[in-house]
Amino acid sequence: MKRKYLWLDAILDEKSIGSFESHSPATSFWQHGFVRGIMSCGHSVYVIGTPSERAWPFGRLLVSSKDVSLPNHIEGRLFGYLNIPGIRGFSQFLVIRSAVNRFIKDHGLPDYSVTFSCQNSQRDISPMGRVAKYLQSKYEIPWLCIVGDGLAPLGADHYVIQNWKYFLSNESPTPKVHLDGGLAEIPSDELISGASQKLTKNFMYMGAFTKHGGASLLARAFTRLTDANVNLFFSGRGENEELARLADKDQRIKVLGFLTDTELHHHALDMYAFVNPRLTDWPPNKLNFPSKLLHYFAYAKPVISTITDGMSPDYLPILLETDGTEDDLVLALRRCIDMPVDDYNDKCKKIEKFNIDHTWDALATQLNIWLDEQKKQN
């Protein structure tokens, strides 16, 4: 059965993400991949949304649709709104509700409305969630809520939950399915499988430079290594004075800042391994899934990682685990650097095998099979 999805969120192209620093690149990447996967399975998706921006005066007073664009091959429209505290949410709701009604007039009713949720309370509801509830009430269109970070809002008809522990808990609403994400889509013909013959071993961290991601922790641990032939690259957003200070003192630490997809890809190709040092004791990390892992895995190179609640047990055999303390992170880096070539290549092969069933197409297929089952039950 071919379905028509109305996607109520902003998926930004690369240029727009660079212009809207409050808009999460990881969230946009996740949704872009999922939409592409759904479309490749023969279903249609139309995107209607507004970009994220800090409230005025810290952000734009008027967010204009002229400042944002959808990625190529994604059908839909993005809209601006009045970004004044207290009314910005209502402004977004009115704009999107009007756009949705025009879409329905021109294209007919969708099979599902879809929202992407990152909120701290089940009682909260975003402007896009309010539009989904409006469509439930007026047109009886089922609301499919994808829960990224945080808690699921109440009232949706179906839930896709990324966080493994939250999915298993009785706190998450039903009906629900666990889908945490697909691999980054990169040119596979450029990948080099197995151990590199280069003498220099490069490690990379992708993501926010803020404390909860573990960037400072990783940099401190790395400075305790004495090897001259290792480097550590940081790519992402955010201000981090400690990271900048450590990079000034240790020339092996390279802070690249926010890169384009092409720049990030070319750096990643040259990596020996990747690192996800996300803090395990920071409460919000218990309610999210580290989607950067799926970007790392696309390169089929070892990944050093903490194990947080959001991760499925399927990830454990292919990761190089660290407990998240500075001392243990030093040891994990050391073990990775000294790993025998055969062990390194074996780890790469395990990741390649894992990747076969973790594409966006596979994820979209799982979703639609689950929705078929739900429809039969009802």
The runs of H, that is alpha helices, within the chain are 14-19, 25-40, 88-107, 127-139, 164-168, 215-223, 241-249, 261-269, 292-297, 326-337, 341-356, 360-377
CA pair distance 225, 221, nearest whole angstrom: 7
Regarding whether 352 and 364 lie in a shared domain, the answer is no
What number is the average pLDDT over the span 367-372? 96
Beta carbons within 8 Å of 62's beta carbon, 6+ residues apart: 80, 81, 82, 83
State the pLDDT at residue 23: 87
Regarding whether 322 and 198 lie in a shared domain, the answer is yes
Tokens of 307: 């194990």
Question: Which of 145-154, 197-206, 251-260, 360-369 comes out lowest in average pLDDT?
Answer: 197-206
Beta carbons within 8 Å of 357's beta carbon, 6+ residues apart: none
Comparing 38 with 199, the larger pLDDT belongs to: 38
Regarding whether 352 and 225 lie in a shared domain, the answer is yes
Share of the chain above pLDDT 90, in %: 81
Residue 10 has pLDDT above 60, yes or no: yes
pLDDT tens string 345-361: 999 999 999 999 999 99
179 alpha-carbon distance from chain centroid:
12
Regarding whether 323 and 195 lie in a shared domain, the answer is yes
State the pLDDT at residue 121: 82
State the pLDDT at residue 210: 85
Regarding whether 80 and 17 lie in a shared domain, the answer is yes
Question: Which of 14-28, 55-69, 256-270, 347-361 comes out lowest in average pLDDT?
Answer: 14-28
Share of the chain above pLDDT 70, in %: 97
CB atoms within 10 A of CB 164: 19
State the pLDDT at residue 86: 93
State the pLDDT at residue 1: 78
State the residue range of the domain holding 295. Answer: 188-356
Regarding whether 211 and 116 lie in a shared domain, the answer is no
**In contact, 247 and 205? CB cutoff 8 Å:** no
SS3 225: coil
Regarding whether 200 and 171 lie in a shared domain, the answer is no
pLDDT tens string 328-342: 999 999 999 999 999
Regarding whether 96 and 47 lie in a shared domain, the answer is yes
Which phi and psi angles does 24 have, rounded to 5°? -65, 120
Regarding whether 212 and 175 lie in a shared domain, the answer is no
What number is the average pLDDT over the span 211-233? 95
CA pair distance 88, 93, nearest whole angstrom: 9
What number is the average pLDDT over the span 70-88? 96
| Domain CATH for 194 | 3.40.50.2000
Regarding whether 177 and 55 lie in a shared domain, the answer is yes
pLDDT tens string 159-185: 999 999 999 999 999 999 999 999 988
DSSP type of residue 87: T
Residue 42 has pLDDT above 80, yes or no: yes
* pTM for this entry: 0.92
Residue 282 has pLDDT above 90, yes or no: no
Question: What average pLDDT does the chain have?
Answer: 93
For the chain, the domain total comes to: 2
What number is the average pLDDT over the span 20-28? 88
State the pLDDT at residue 123: 83
pLDDT tens string 104-140: 999 999 999 999 998 888 888 999 999 999 999 999 9
Regarding whether 158 and 250 lie in a shared domain, the answer is no
CA distances from 314 to 53, 164, 298, 357, 361 (A): 35, 10, 16, 11, 19
Residue 197 has pLDDT above 60, yes or no: no
Residue 192 has pLDDT above 70, yes or no: no
Tokens of 83: 């970004």
Regarding whether 93 and 205 lie in a shared domain, the answer is no
